């Protein structure tokens, strides 16, 4: 049984393959998060191929794909720069 670990997210490769082939909701939270990482990376590659510049806006968009929300950077109260 092979598995992958990304930031303490552990999922089985079989689950990943099934999730990318079958169009249904993914019940395993770890598998869902790995799929979000994949989607964010492909989005980033697509955007960089159009305009080869790394911007804060691109990284925010990628993080929104991973976290499935519309939060920005450092919007938590108490964050000091």
User: In 3-state terms, what secondary structure has residue 1?
Assistant: coil
pLDDT reading at 17 higher than 80: no
Q: What is the pLDDT averaged over residues 2-31? A: 65
More confident residue, 15 or 50: 50
Instruction: Tell me how far apart the alpha carbons of residues 43 and 39 are, in angstroms, rounded to a whole number.
Output: 6
The lowest-confidence range among 1-10, 36-45, 48-57 is 1-10
CB-CB contact of 3 with 10 (8 Å): yes
Helical packing angle, 56-67 and 29-50, nearest 10°: 160
pLDDT given for residue 1 in this prediction? 45
pTM assigned to the model: 0.64
């Amino acid at each position: 049984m092979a598995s992958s670990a990304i930031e303490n997210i552990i999922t089985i490769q079989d689950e990943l393959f099934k999730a990318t082939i079958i169009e249904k909701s993914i019940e395993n939270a770890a598998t869902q998060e790995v799929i979000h990482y994949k989607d964010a990376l492909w989005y980033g590659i697509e955007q960089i191929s159009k305009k080869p510049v790394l911007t804060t806006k691109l990284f925010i968009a990628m993080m929104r794909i991973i976290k499935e929300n519309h939060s920005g950077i450092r919007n938590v109260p108490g964050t000091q720069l």
